[in-house]
Amino acid sequence: MNGDFRCRVQSYFLDRPDALTSGGWTAWEEKTRKEHPVKWFTLETVPDFIEFTLWNPVSRRVYNLKCKYWSKHHHIKIDVPRFFVGEDFNDKVIEKYHWIESDTKILYANFQILVDFVEKESDIVDWSSDPQHQESEKEFMDLYKWWTEERPKREDNYPSMSEYGIEGGLADLDRSSPGYKRWNEAHDEYNKQQEEYDNEDTEMLIRLVSIRRRLWS
């Protein structure tokens, strides 16, 4: 059921407020569930079951097929199963063909071009013919090895709150607890690591762009 439509229906039949704090919504739901169990079951439980158990699995599969075969957001034809790694992409290959942001496409598309050049074209050229060719080969092979061998080995372990004994939603967090402080420190370290990865990606991309005119066959 459409979210806005559900809100309007609940506002009419359950006196749903327009806005509340996180704790206020929790209190309202508990109160409404107790005072109007039949209405709550009809207007909240049943729609949730239909949406999450019946509709979402079907619509998601349709979206997967659309992205893979028609929309093709992953073009330039990036070798998605081979190179997309990290927490943003799970192990189901079909789901790796969803929307890809432009900053990510710039990185992956350019290095896909390099991979295709090394694996499909570079053997046409005699890269030992002169010092300039030798220098060019060394540089693009260093970048190729970094992209295909070194970069995929990066650790990308996002610190889960449950690992630090933190349960519940953000509104219920005790930010003074030792567990939260340890998680927050781990989260800062994770962000620092991600920034270092991002800086390395940018550095390597600049190196690749700087030799683009040498990638010919």
Domain ranges of the chain: 1-71, 100-217
Instruction: State the Cα–Cα distance between residues 212 and 149, nearest whole angstrom.
Output: 21
User: Residue 87's pLDDT is what?
Assistant: 45
User: Residue 175's pLDDT is what?
Assistant: 65
* Cα three-residue angle 123-125-131, rounded to 5 degrees: 120
Residue from 74, 86, 138 nearest 112 by CA: 74
| Cβ–Cβ under 8 Å, residues 9 and 2 | no
What is the sign of the dihedral through the CA atoms of 108, 80, 151 and 195?
positive
User: Residue 78's pLDDT is what?
Assistant: 81
Per the rule left: phi > 0, alpha: psi between -120 and 50, beta: everything else, 174 is beta
Instruction: State the Cα–Cα distance between residues 187 and 20, nearest whole angstrom.
Output: 29
Q: What is the DSSP string of 184-213?
A: HHHHHHHHHHHHHHHHHHHHHHHHHHHTGG
User: Residue 36's pLDDT is what?
Assistant: 85
User: Residue 136's pLDDT is what?
Assistant: 94
User: Residue 146's pLDDT is what?
Assistant: 97
The token pair that represents 128 in the structure block: 């030992």
User: Residue 88's pLDDT is what?
Assistant: 52
**Could you list the pLDDT tens digit for every one of the 217 residues in the chain?**
556 777 777 776 777 887 888 888 888 888 888 888 888 888 888 878 887 888 888 888 888 888 888 877 676 788 877 887 654 555 555 566 777 788 988 999 999 999 999 999 999 999 999 999 999 999 999 999 999 999 988 887 777 777 766 666 555 666 667 777 787 788 888 889 899 999 999 999 999 999 999 998 8
User: Residue 55's pLDDT is what?
Assistant: 81
